[in-house]
Amino acid sequence: MSSLIVNPQRHKASMDDRLPLKMRQYFKTNQSNFPLDTRIVGLDYEEFIREGNRPSSTLSELKIPKKLVWMRALGELGDDPQIHKCVAAWASDWGVGVTPMKAVGSSFVSPEVRMCCSLDHAMWFNGDFRADEWMLYEMEGIQFAGGRGVSSGRIYDQEGNMKVHVTQEILIRYKPGTEYPKFDKTLQW
């Protein structure tokens, strides 16, 4: 395996002793084996660490549950459009589900979070695109209540054309005794 640091954000997290050992090991293992080059837009690493190390109940205001990630497959994928759609389908599962957690000050590294998993994931493709070129993945949390979250995502090509629309529902379980936070974007309209 190459020693090239493909994603500096993952590399930094893999070496930060403020994160739980299990999370550092996750980032370190996936650093060399992760098949995507990803760059989170506007990631404030120190805020990520602070939010990941305090209970949700200490937050006094809602955060905007949005995330932007530039991503592309590592290496050439050839010209078969179905391969590019398969890669985008796999990549679309990374991050969209936990986006509504941001609204309540939680994240997948928060100490009170025990587990999170996808319940369902749907996609609509709008034409051909190349997953081995930079694509912008815009994710937005729609609702989070009772340990379930709903998100929406859109993947754009380099010209700004929406090529994929994604929705996902997730299940999140907290440690016993933790009050489940709630956020509903539809109540703000």
Contacts of 112 (CB under 8 A, 6+ apart): 55, 56, 106, 174, 175, 178
The domains of the chain, with CATH numbers, are 50-188 (3.10.129.10)
- Find residue 184's DSSP bridge partners: 143
* Stronger pLDDT, 74 or 163, i.e. the higher one: 163
Average pLDDT (98-121) is 76
Could you tell me the pLDDT band of residue 43, with boundaries at 50, 70 and 90? Answer: low
- The pLDDT score that the predictor gives to residue 40 is 75
Indicate whether 66 pLDDT > 60. yes
The two counts, helices (H) then strands (E), for the chain are 4, 7
* Helix, strand or coil, per DSSP, at residue 131: coil
pLDDT of residue 55: 43
Residue 10 has pLDDT above 50, yes or no: yes
Specify the pTM: 0.74
- What pLDDT, on a 0 to 100 scale, did the predictor assign at position 54? 46
pLDDT at 179 over 80: no
Write down the pLDDT at residue 59: 37
- pLDDT reading at 170 higher than 80: yes
Among this protein's residues, is 44 annotated catalytic? no
**Beta bridge mates, 153:** 139, 166
| Strand 66-73, strand 36-40: pairing | antiparallel
106: left (phi over 0), alpha (psi -120 to 50) or beta: beta
Q: Summarize pLDDT for 139-149 with one digit per residue, the tens.
A: 888 887 788 88
pLDDT over 90 (residue 79): yes
pLDDT-wise least confident of 3-12, 102-111, 159-168: 3-12
Catalytic residue chosen out of the listed positions 44, 118, 128, 158: 118
DSSP state of 159: T
168 is a catalytic site residue: yes
Could you say which of 14, 56, 110, 168 is catalytic? 168
Which listed residue (16, 93, 132, 184) is catalytic?
93
